[in-house]
Amino acid sequence: MRHDLMQARTITCDRLEIRSDENGDGTLLEGVAVPFNQRYDLFAGYAEVIDPDCDFGGRTVKISRDHGELIGKVIDITRNDTGLMIRAKLSDTQLARETVQLVRDGVCDSFSIGFKPVENRIVESDDGVTEVHRRKVDLIEVAVTGTPAYPSATITSQRTINQPNESEEPMTDELAKRFDKLETETRNAIASLKTNIPEPSPLLGGQWRSMGDYLHALSDGSEEAARFQDETRDAITSPDINNQTQWVADQIRLVQSRRSVANLFVHSALPATGLKVEYLTLGTNTMKVAQQANETGTLATGKITLSSQAATVATYGGYTTLSQQVIDRSTTPALDTALRALTLAYSNAIEDAARAYLKTAITGADANKVETPAAPAAMTADQWIEAIIEAAEAVDSRGASLGSLVVGKDVFTAVAKLTRSGNALMDVSGKGSDTLGSLDLSGVTADLFRVPVRMMPAAAANTAVFLDPQALTLWESGGPFQLQQQNIKNLTGDYSVYGYAAFGTTFPGGITPLAAKTTSHD
């Protein structure tokens, strides 16, 4: 939320919200404190809704005058189709008596609530407003006011302050002192909030409803749109989508969903500057840890060697030309379609680069090779069991894990058709009960003896390699939001999607190829 869009009647700090809402009060007051299923505008494009099944907590709720001095407490809470109904009792204080008169005069005729949000649900409504649905709150206070945030939070009845009720107990001096103490603490807390309000993190891209809207703003020379380019520089490397508006998160997911091989890499942001990324890899490792022979005995020792490597930063991008008429006059979906195509092309380019790098990395890991009794595309189920066991022992000696089994098309096809004792090994239907693996043909993924299997298109014949999750790293910045416009004389604009990426083998010991055992001829 930008500070200039914050509602003046709302104070937010550490999830504490004190805001206007309808209420009424006398000695006994009844009314709707919280209307259900009604929007309260928070700021541009965002609204709050209290759900009918919202949990309001279990604390004793106090009554105040305009969220100021305490004047009573809520003695009964019920809910109906309209909203949360309360019954409140006021203390015999001067301010309470004044409040009663204001209620009688119709000056104060509403309730206002103060609460801490606990659990929310975000809903994107059809009219483009993002609704924050309160599912659970800690209701702290109900105030009597004449300026509610919810116009439906009204007082329905009020009994005179001198009218007795057999079910009510008079306010004791001790309880009144407690109220006074709580009042002082509450006022001090509010004063502190007013001077120490942290500005909430804005939703990335929340200024625009879609990618097309963003492109319109960029075309109009919006400084905010230009800043957005910088803000999204590293968004593609972040797994956190909680601070992103829906269309931004969708763009990132669109990119990631098309990267079956690139998603096997550790994903990190590129440094702000530099044409190369320097990193260290572990070479030899003779480090030893052993039990100390005695209290003064010499500890085991060893050495490690580190190798400095550098990954070259490459640029990946493309552009399209749009007429100024399309930019200015077309509907947003038309622009979204053009940008979606560019985004997919960028994603495919990074994926192709990742596949090419992985092929090179497999070749360079020949020293880690585990020999198999047959070529991977020709192995039986029992031979696969043996190969997985051998590979597990090999990677353990290097401090690595099996990770995923990455295979070429021929090996994946062979794995899909594996049989054992005449029965299919892979559960393709999802209904098998005695299979030792599963296969997802739509995603070209499998599970072989609980080892994830991923197919790498266009791989060399008999490609099969165990890949530790930390073995490879993809550094990236830029991506689907890096758009630039160049105004030219024939009323067209060139828009580019580009990014920078570098690939590195950060853990060589995590790459374990499989290859058929070579037969020696004497």
Question: Tens digits of per-residue pLDDT, 37-65?
Answer: 888 776 667 788 888 888 988 888 888 88
Residue 16's beta-bridge partner residues?
A: 13
Between 516 and 450, whose confidence is greater?
A: 516
Residue 214's beta-bridge partner residues?
A: none
Whole-model pTM above 0.85? no
Burial status of residue 402 (CB atoms within 10 A of its CB: 0-12, 13-18, 19 or more): buried
Residue 203 placed within a domain: no
pLDDT for 243 equals 66
Whether 8 and 116 map to the same domain: the answer is yes
Whether 319 and 244 map to the same domain: the answer is yes
Q: Are 475 and 501 in contact (CB under 8 A)?
A: yes
Euclidean distance between CA atoms 88 and 27, whole angstroms: 8
Whether 107 and 254 map to the same domain: the answer is no
DSSP alpha helices (H): ranges in 107-149? none
Whether 165 and 314 map to the same domain: the answer is no
Q: Are 353 and 501 in contact (CB under 8 A)?
A: yes
Residue 123 placed within a domain: yes
Q: Where does a domain end: 195, 223, 242? A: 195
Mean pLDDT estimate for the chain:
76
Three-class HEC string of 162-214: CCCCCCCCCCCHHHHHHHHHHHHHHHHHHHHHHHCCCCCCCCECCCCCCHHHH
Euclidean distance between CA atoms 43 and 243, whole angstroms: 16
Whether 102 and 128 map to the same domain: the answer is yes
For residue 512, is pLDDT > 80?
yes
Euclidean distance between CA atoms 470 and 267, whole angstroms: 10
Whether 349 and 426 map to the same domain: the answer is no
Whether 9 and 103 map to the same domain: the answer is yes
Q: Are 507 and 281 in contact (CB under 8 A)?
A: yes
Mean pLDDT is highest, among 93-107, 164-178, 383-397, 475-489, for 383-397
Q: Could you tell me if residue 450 is left (phi over 0), alpha (psi between -120 and 50 degrees) or otherwise beta?
A: left
For 290-305, what is each residue's pLDDT tens digit? 888 888 888 888 887 8
CA–chain centroid gap for 295, Å, is 51
Whether 264 and 311 map to the same domain: the answer is yes
pLDDT for 175 equals 57
pLDDT for 2 equals 33
Between 228 and 328, whose confidence is greater?
A: 228
Residue 273 placed within a domain: yes
Nearest residue to 132 (alpha-carbon basis) of 51, 188, 210: 51
Count of domains observed in the chain: 3
Q: How confident is the model at residue 199 (pLDDT cuts 50, 70, 90)?
A: low
Q: What is the mean pLDDT of residues 224-253?
A: 69
Mean pLDDT is highest, among 156-160, 266-270, 424-428, for 266-270
Whether 104 and 239 map to the same domain: the answer is no
pLDDT for 168 equals 38
Q: What is the mean pLDDT of residues 399-418?
A: 90
Residue 383 placed within a domain: yes
pLDDT for 35 equals 84
Q: How confident is the model at residue 20 (pLDDT cuts 50, 70, 90)?
A: very low
Q: Where does a domain end: 164, 195, 226? A: 195
For 247-281, what is each residue's pLDDT tens digit? 777 777 777 777 889 989 998 888 888 899 998 88
Residue 201 placed within a domain: no
Helices (H) and strands (E) in the chain, counts: 9, 28
Euclidean distance between CA atoms 376 and 370, whole angstroms: 11
Residue 21 placed within a domain: yes
Euclidean distance between CA atoms 147 and 391, whole angstroms: 71
Q: How confident is the model at residue 201 (pLDDT cuts 50, 70, 90)?
A: low
Residue 28 placed within a domain: yes
The tokens describing 333, both together, are 């979906």
Q: What are phi and psi of 404, to 5 degrees?
A: -105, 150
Euclidean distance between CA atoms 197 and 216, whole angstroms: 34
pLDDT for 502 equals 95
Whether 223 and 309 map to the same domain: the answer is yes
pLDDT for 4 equals 33
Q: What is the mean pLDDT of residues 94-122?
A: 81
Whether 159 and 244 map to the same domain: the answer is no
Q: Are 465 and 514 in contact (CB under 8 A)?
A: yes
Q: How confident is the model at residue 1 (pLDDT cuts 50, 70, 90)?
A: very low
For 165-175, what is each residue's pLDDT tens digit? 333 344 455 65
287: how many CB neighbours lie within 10 A of its CB?
11
399: domain range? 369-469+510-515
Residue 479's beta-bridge partner residues?
A: 498
For residue 85, is pLDDT > 80?
yes
Residue 521 placed within a domain: no
Nearest residue to 41 (alpha-carbon basis) of 88, 2, 6: 6
pLDDT for 325 equals 77
Whether 462 and 498 map to the same domain: the answer is no
